[in-house]
Amino acid sequence: MRTVVITGGTEGIGRGFARTRLGCGDRVVTVGTDKAEAESGASFLHDRTREVLAR
């Protein structure tokens, strides 16, 4: 298992890449600038996400 940090991972290509890496069993940290997008991204990844921090 790897830990992957994805900037811009709350939407678009970054969100898709986060889902792919989660599917491979990696730990994923996504970073974005918009709280609403972060919450939306967490919802999209909800089946594989353990913790969400949005500020």
List, for residues 10-47, the tens digit of each pLDDT value. 788 988 898 899 889 888 888 888 888 877 777 777 66
Distance (Å, rounded) from C-alpha 49 to C-alpha 52?
A: 7
- The answer to whether position 26 is within a domain reads yes
Does residue 36 belong to any structural domain of this protein? yes
| Residue 34 placed within a domain | yes
Q: How far apart are CA 18 and CA 27, in angstroms?
A: 9
Confidence (pLDDT) at 55: 60
Domain that holds residue 27: 3-44
Asked if residues 46 and 37 have their Cβ atoms less than 8 Å apart, the reply is no
20 vs 50 pLDDT, higher one: 20
Based on the structure, what is the number of domains in the chain? 1
Q: Is residue 25 part of a domain?
A: yes
Q: Is the pTM of this model over 0.85?
A: no
**DSSP 8-state symbol, 17:** H
Asked if residue 49 is part of any domain, the answer here is no
